[in-house]
Amino acid sequence: MREMKPYDLVIGGASASSADGATFTVDEPAQGEPMAEVARAGAEDAHRAVTAARLAFDDGDARHPALHRGEERLLLVDVAPYTR
């Protein structure tokens, strides 16, 4: 059996546990074995995420052209697998 990795939520660009500490197990599709323990977001977590998104929107990201924002997100997708 493989080691299960824990994964938190990402709210406002920072790693965060769910407000109530709830998690769920994700199974690896090919083998059907548990592979990760993931934070289960609830209503309070959704509120925190929406608040953080509103702040990010108001504080500048929306001022950049859409093409620039898209390129930044593609860079994040490229490096995300290497951050754990």
Q: What's the pLDDT at 18?
A: 96
pLDDT in tens, the chain (84 residues): 567 788 999 999 899 999 999 999 999 899 899 999 999 999 999 999 999 999 888 877 667 778 877 787 777 766 666 555
Supply 3's token pair. 């080691």
Total domains, the chain: 1
Structural domain boundaries, residue 55: 5-82
Q: What is the pTM of this model?
A: 0.65
Beta strands in the chain (DSSP E): 5-7, 9-11, 14-16, 23-27, 34-39
Q: Cβ contacts of residue 17 below 8 Å, gap of 6+?
A: 8, 9, 39
**Alpha carbon of 50 to those of 12, 39, 67: distances in Å?**
9, 17, 23
Q: What's the pLDDT at 42?
A: 96
Q: What's the pLDDT at 83?
A: 54
Q: What's the pLDDT at 62?
A: 67
